[in-house]
Amino acid sequence: MAIKLRWLAAAGIAAVVIATAYKNLTAEPGAMNAVQVTTIDNQKIKFADWQKEGKVTVVNFWATSCTTCVKEMPKLVEMYNKLQPKGLAYVAVAMQYDNPAYVKNFATDKNLPFPVVWDGEGRLNEQFGHIIGTPTTFVIDKNGKIIKRYVGEPDWTDIYAVIEKELA
């Protein structure tokens, strides 16, 4: 019983920390405009450029060792292919603990149509409030404000509705 209570207390504290980090992250419109990344193909991406172009951005934190991440990837590709012509920008961010060679091989083997980043130094993880589990997906509006976060595989009906509303 004491172990269960300690576990519940720890889980409650973790939830408060995560919620606080997420609240702080989304508090300011334009908070994500300062984010810059380099893809596994050495392309430089600035989120501010996407916002200037009026794009809605999806950022998906994932890992090659994450079965849910691998399972959801074809649906993310489908979503990107469908919504990119309407103004969706997308970045798949592989976690720091992932092997960069595995990330590059996965992206190549699966012919991923969107930019893929390996967060080798954990900077993106830090900028997005210290991602604890994968997959974690963020939807960022045209002004650079995070409007929705999904932990685990998203509810596909919901994520499409959120993105399409922002694209309208």
- pLDDT: which is higher, 9 or 140: 140
Paired sense of beta strands 56-62 and 44-46, if any:
unpaired
Q: What's the burial of 77, exposed, middle or buried (CB within 10 Å: 0-12/13-18/19+)?
A: middle
Question: pLDDT-based confidence at 38, cuts 50/70/90?
Answer: confident
**Fold of the CATH domain 2-167:** Glutaredoxin (3.40.30)
| pTM (two decimals) | 0.80
Domain residue extents for the chain: 2-167
Cis peptide bond prior to 135, omega within 30° of 0? yes
Of the listed ranges 6-10, 63-67, 123-127, the one predicted with least confidence: 6-10
